[in-house]
Amino acid sequence: MTDGHGLEDKSHFRGVWVFLEGRAGHLRDVSTQLIGEGRRLADLRGTPLTGILPGKGVDALAEQAIGYGLDRVIVVDDPILEIYRSRPYAQVMAQLIRRHKPEIVLFGASKNGRDLGGRLHAILETGLAADCVKFDIDAEGNLDMIRPSFGGKSLAHILCKKHRPQMASVRRNVFVAPPHNPERRGEIVREVVELSPQDADATLLEFEEFTKEGGLRPEEADIVVSGGYGLADPKNFALLQELADRLGGAIAASRKAVDSGWVPKTLQVGQTGMTVRPKLYIAVGISGAVQHLAGMQEAEKILVINIDPKAPLFEIADYGIVGDLFEIVPELVRQLDALKGGDASDRRAVPAEAR
């Protein structure tokens, strides 16, 4: 329930917090990336950096987290916290924030991070900026929270001047995780938060893990061949795979292709998927909705293959072919093979230093 907490004298609030998410004994990459940026902000404010780790039996994870640059980890260990649930996690965060009054609290803009932040900011009645890509400290010492707006056509600077803590979620792969230093020493603080069994107000009945294709991940590939609704049928992704194989690239997809069940969710590029910055992004049968652009417009070069010359993606293309993908893609594969007698292994992106 709300308590108007946000309006308390803001000078009492001090310190930078990052909410830590783990999985299978490891911190999620968005969490290690948060620690890196949190460290920078804590140093700018001259305050300590604290990681918050609710869970069950998470001591090893807390040790691990310190190595990325934390001064301290607050561990709340409770069987109810073994899996993520909105109510008990929000409860824990709200109570810890009231107890310790941090100035800044950062979350990963993951599904759970957004789920938690959204609930928490209403309970605490304080500001929360979603999906931030950059931070600054302004002249008055406020956190300048910078996020894409209008479908990535601009960047908005969000300030939360009167309320504390200032909260923000951070997109994955925007910040670089600091190197892990196993020698780093920090404090592990155990805290208790009152929880009752009724706080576990949701029961997880079933979990089915996304299939992870063994191949190259789009985030790591120099060339990404991405397919959209224009592919018309899941089996046509085999066409794209052939092209990707010739170029040493990875396959990705638009949300509409994912929602159609053609490829796994883990391959989705865009606002609600992943961000990729390859040397070459090849968009096949993708129209170029703003939510798609949000995940690929920072590619070094963009090649668009679309039958519709008015497809919005052509507006940001370096190269494009207006034509039927079912003719163009096989022809591309043929000509690439002809260029080098079928040997594809060295027709990758030219490394930056050679350009």
Partner 1 sequence: MSPADSNARPLRILVCIKQVPKAQELQVDPVTQTLKRVGVPSEINPPDANALEIALTLKDRHAAEVVVLSMGPTSFDESLERAVAMGADRAVLLTDRILGGSDTVPTAYALSETIQKIGGYDLILTGEETTDASTGHVGPGIAGHLDLPQITYVSEVRIVDGTVRARRTAEDGTEWWQTAMPSLCTVNFGCNKPRSPTLTGKIRVKRGGVIAHWSCADVGIDPKKVGLLNSPTIVAKVDTIRLPPRAGHIFSGEPKETVRALLEALIRDRVIAP
Ligand X SMILES: Cc1cc2nc3c(=O)[nH]c(=O)nc-3n(C[C@H](O)[C@H](O)[C@H](O)COP(=O)(O)OP(=O)(O)OC[C@H]3O[C@@H](n4cnc5c(N)ncnc54)[C@H](O)[C@@H]3O)c2cc1C
**Please, which residue, 33 or 287, has the CB nearer to ligand X?**
287
Q: Least CB distance from residue 190 to ligand X, whole Å?
A: 39
Residue closest to 283 by CA, chosen among 265, 269, 264, 266: 269
Q: What is the CA radius of gyration of the chain?
A: 23
CB contact set of 118 (below 8 Å; sequence gap of 6+):
128
- Cβ of residue 33: shortest distance to ligand X, in angstroms? 19
Check the CA dihedral 251-255-256-261 and report its sign: positive
Per CB under 8 A, the list member of 29, 59, 78, 144 interacting with partner 1 is 144
Helix (H) or strand (E) holding 246: helix 237-247
Q: What angle do CA 121, 127, 130 make, to 5 degrees?
A: 85
Query: Which parts of 320-339 interact with ligand X (CB under 6 A)?
Result: 324-326
Specify the 3-state DSSP secondary structure of 17: strand
**Which of partner 1, ligand X, none is residue 161 near (CB under 5 to 8 Å by kind)?**
partner 1
Q: Which long-range CB contacts under 8 A does 214-218 form with residues at least 24 apart?
A: 215/250, 215/251, 216/248, 216/249, 216/250, 217/250, 218/250, 218/251, 218/252, 218/267, 218/269, 218/274, 218/276, 218/278
Query: Binders of partner 1 among 83-142, rule CB under 8 A?
Result: 86-87, 90, 110-112, 114-123, 125-131, 138
Using CB under 6 A as the binding rule, whether residue 226 contacts ligand X is answered as no
Q: Which does 87 bind (CB under 5 to 8 A by kind): ligand X, partner 1, none?
A: partner 1
Is 239 a residue that touches ligand X (CB under 6 A)?
no
Task: Pick the binder of ligand X from 61, 286, 304, 349 (CB under 6 A).
Answer: 286
**Tally of CB atoms within 10 A around 98:** 12
The least CB distance from residue 118 to partner 1, in Å, is 3
Beta carbon of residue 124, minimum distance to ligand X (angstroms, whole number) = 26
Residue from the set 46, 197, 214, 309 that interacts with partner 1 by CB under 8 A: 309
Which residues lie near ligand X (CB under 6 A)?
A: 228-230, 254-257, 268-273, 285-287, 289, 291-292, 295, 306-308, 311, 324-326
